[in-house]
Amino acid sequence: MTTPAWAILIIANLPLYWLFAWLLFRTWENFSEALRFWITPDSWSFINGEFLNDWYAEAKLGLWIAASAGCVFAEAYALEGLLA
């Protein structure tokens, strides 16, 4: 699959990324908190007593990234099969 095809798939799936984000985070505040925890070192969260919140927020963010990327790769794999 060529680079323009990947770019088209990534852009075409933007509504799907929004849907996954809404299902996991519900609000922009929760999403920004997950990004904050992702940037914050785990040891600092542990010292502040936010380790479980950090773990949960990072898990949701990781799931969002994996689901978004997984959809793009699954669609690319399906298209490769159809075009072959």
Do the beta carbons of residue 17 and residue 70 sit within 8 Å?
no
pLDDT tens digits, 18-69: 999 999 999 999 999 999 999 999 999 999 999 999 999 999 999 999 999 9
> 83 pLDDT band (50/70/90 cuts)?
confident
Do the beta carbons of residue 39 and residue 83 sit within 8 Å?
no
* Gap between the Cα atoms of 7 and 22, Å rounded: 23
pTM listed for this prediction:
0.88
Which residues, at least 6 apart from 40, have a Cβ–Cβ distance to it below 8 Å?
Answer: 54
